[in-house]
Amino acid sequence: MGVGGKHVSITNSPAPPRVHQGEVKFSDVPINSDVEFHYILSFAIDYSKATTTPPIPSNGKFEKFWDTENLSSTAVSAIKKEYSNVKVAVSLGGATIGNGKYKVYFKATSVDSWVSNAVSSLTNIIKDYNIDGIDIDYENFSDEDDTDTFTECIGRLITTLKRNGVISFSSIAPFDDAPVQRMYKALWSKYSSVINYVNFQFYGYDADTTVEQYVKYYDEQVANNYPRGRVLASFMTENTDEAGVISADTGFSACQELKKENKLYGIFIWSADASLSQGFTYEIQSQALLASSSSPSLLVA
């Protein structure tokens, strides 16, 4: 896989265990004008925001669960006006809700009703916030064997939003978990033509993963699971020691190695909230790495 276009995406964090109360703003993040830079808002979730315990799935009726005070529609328009290379996406689903107390499950009453509700609710959110794309990040499934429903709901959603001119790009965010891979591989098999990026969560591998092993994992995803896909490298800037996963240093070193091998299409970094206290060191380094390529791309999360 050759190097693609210059691309950056950065997301804020959602509720714990993947949250930080850094109150990050778009303007906090340094942006290199020589890369394509994407922010990803986390998350829009099809669960009711009513005070029910536990929260209730709403069959495709999405609500905003990100920090809408700091990451407002006005702020979206302002950062896109200031930087012509910036786009904004919204991530759908995520791992948890209710301050990390409850898992978010993909759950559809029927394909037709879920798609209808999702298209309607997301169109309103996307237009209100001047958003350019969506990222699919469901990580839990009420029926781990029903790949058809997930495939059709997500595939039709992306197809419809693109056909209607509501979004210009889409991405998916799988990771190395058997039920998750089963769902996303089925989706990719049928609807890869409407999916622009694969934001694979390589940072989920064990902390003792070496750069050589990371590159091997990357090659496996490209060759076996998401062929012909624009698979982005990734790492996280959260406390990886506590999480027991790959460090940011190892992840960035792997990105450097992938670039040497002409395989680095882009980089996905989780998360802007965690990076705020670090002065966005890795975001700056990653953009410089990509900008020095013939046509690189960065996705920051």
- At 205, which CATH number? 3.20.20.80
For the chain, what is the domain count? 1
pLDDT, position 240: 75
Neighbours of 236 (CB within 10 A): 25
Considering the domain boundaries, does residue 151 fall inside one? yes
pLDDT, position 296: 54
Token representation of residue 135: 């990222």
pLDDT, position 292: 86
Pick from 157, 158, 201, 153: nearest CA to 181: 201
Residues of the chain with pLDDT under 70: 1-22, 294-301
pLDDT, position 300: 58
Q: Report the catalytic residues.
A: 139
Considering the domain boundaries, does residue 160 fall inside one? yes
Considering the domain boundaries, does residue 3 fall inside one? no
pLDDT, position 298: 63
Residue 55 bridge partners (DSSP) = none
Its pTM stands at: 0.92
* Size of the chain in residues: 301
Separation of first and last alpha carbons in the chain: 22
3-class state of residue 159 by DSSP: helix
pLDDT, position 53: 84
Percent helix, strand, coil in the chain, to 5, is 40, 20, 40
3-class state of residue 41 by DSSP: strand
Considering the domain boundaries, does residue 215 fall inside one? yes
Q: Read off the pLDDT of residues 90-113 as tens digits, 9 standing for 90 and up.
A: 999 999 998 889 999 999 999 999
Considering the domain boundaries, does residue 1 fall inside one? no
Give the C-alpha distances (Å, rounded to integers) separating 32 from 43, 85, 189, 273, 285.
25, 9, 34, 19, 10
pLDDT, position 121: 98
Q: Yes or no: say if 11 and 42 are a contact pair by the CB < 8 Å rule.
A: yes
Considering the domain boundaries, does residue 278 fall inside one? yes
Considering the domain boundaries, does residue 12 fall inside one? yes
Q: Are strands 197-198 and 133-138 parallel, antiparallel or unpaired?
A: unpaired
Tokens 């999702």: give the residue: 118
Cβ-in-10-Å burial (0-12, 13-18, 19+) of 193 comes to exposed
Domain span holding position 58: 8-299
Considering the domain boundaries, does residue 241 fall inside one? yes
Taking the C-alpha atoms of residue 176 and residue 156, their distance in angstroms, rounded to an integer, is: 25
